[in-house]
A and B are shown apart, each in its own frame.
Chain A
Amino acid sequence: EDKVVQSPLSLVVHEGDTVTLNCSYEVTNFRSLLWYKQEKKAPTFLFMLTSSGIEKKSGRLSSILDKKELSSILNITATQTGDSAIYLCAVEVPYSGGGADGLTFGKGTHLIIQP
């Protein structure tokens, strides 16, 4: 059974701190790993990672995939209160019946940034 595990489940830090969120996976046929940010609404896309060791960056957020360790990290530097959200990791795998791929989600990391 495909599995995606995120850690920590919850994290509280002060504004300005740097945080690292973890995502590990056990899947039979890896295609890509995606990160989403969810505030009080639908998840919004952050990054898609397919190749090991290549960092994706967007402002203060960055992410990297390690296919050998079957994991990914999401870094947020100089955190702001607006970074408070649930961060979801998902791994794309093909459905066993063929056709479109599916996403298996982790349970998310609830990040709270205190002023």
Chain B
Amino acid sequence: EAQVTQNPRYLITVTGKKLTVTCSQNMNHEYMSWYRQDPGLGLRQIYYSMNVEVTDKGDVPEGYKVSRKEKRNFPLILESPSPNQTSLYFCASFGGDEKLFFGSGTQLSVL
């Protein structure tokens, strides 16, 4: 089954404690992307990757890092999380007529 697997689903952490949200897709898509979703602001792109070792900033990249060492994985790294990064995060991969396949989301709370 084609899917984007994102973990964890829920994460509560404290300010400054490094964390990683994992994302993996099994569709051999070249393009992957991270979004955050906040009330009243919709989905905003954080980073995207057009292929292995190729990443670029989206609309709101500050405070985030990504890596794309393999085609299937695209982790999102918060080196020093802050409360304003409390949000719902979605990983997505891009391909076919459905365009974006979304992961199930990660609800992050930074205290």
CA distance A90 to B102 in the complex (A): 14
CA distance A34 to B100 in the complex (A): 10
The B interface is mostly helix, strand or loop, or mixed, namely strand
CA distance A42 to B93 in the complex (A): 13
Given contacts A97-B56, A100-B30, A102-B48, contact A88 B102 (CB under 8 A): no
Interface with A: B14-22, B37-45, B63-71, which one? B37-45
A100 touches B50 (CB 8 A): yes
| A68 at the binding interface (Cβ < 8 Å) | no
CA distance A106 to B41 in the complex (A): 8
Could you list which residues of chain B lie within 8 angstroms of chain A, going by C-beta atoms? 30-31, 33, 35, 40-45, 48, 50, 56, 90, 94, 97-100, 102-105
CB distance from B46 to the nearest CB of A (A): 12
CA distance A108 to B41 in the complex (A): 9
Q: How big is chain A's contact interface, by range? A: 20 to 34
Chain A residues near B33: list those with CB within 8 A: 102
| A53 at the binding interface (Cβ < 8 Å) | no
CB distance from A63 to the nearest CB of B (A): 14
Instruction: Identify which of residues 31-52 in chain A touch chain B, using a CB-to-CB cut-off of 8 Å.
Output: 32, 34, 36, 41-45, 48
Most buried by A among B35, B41, B90, B99: B99
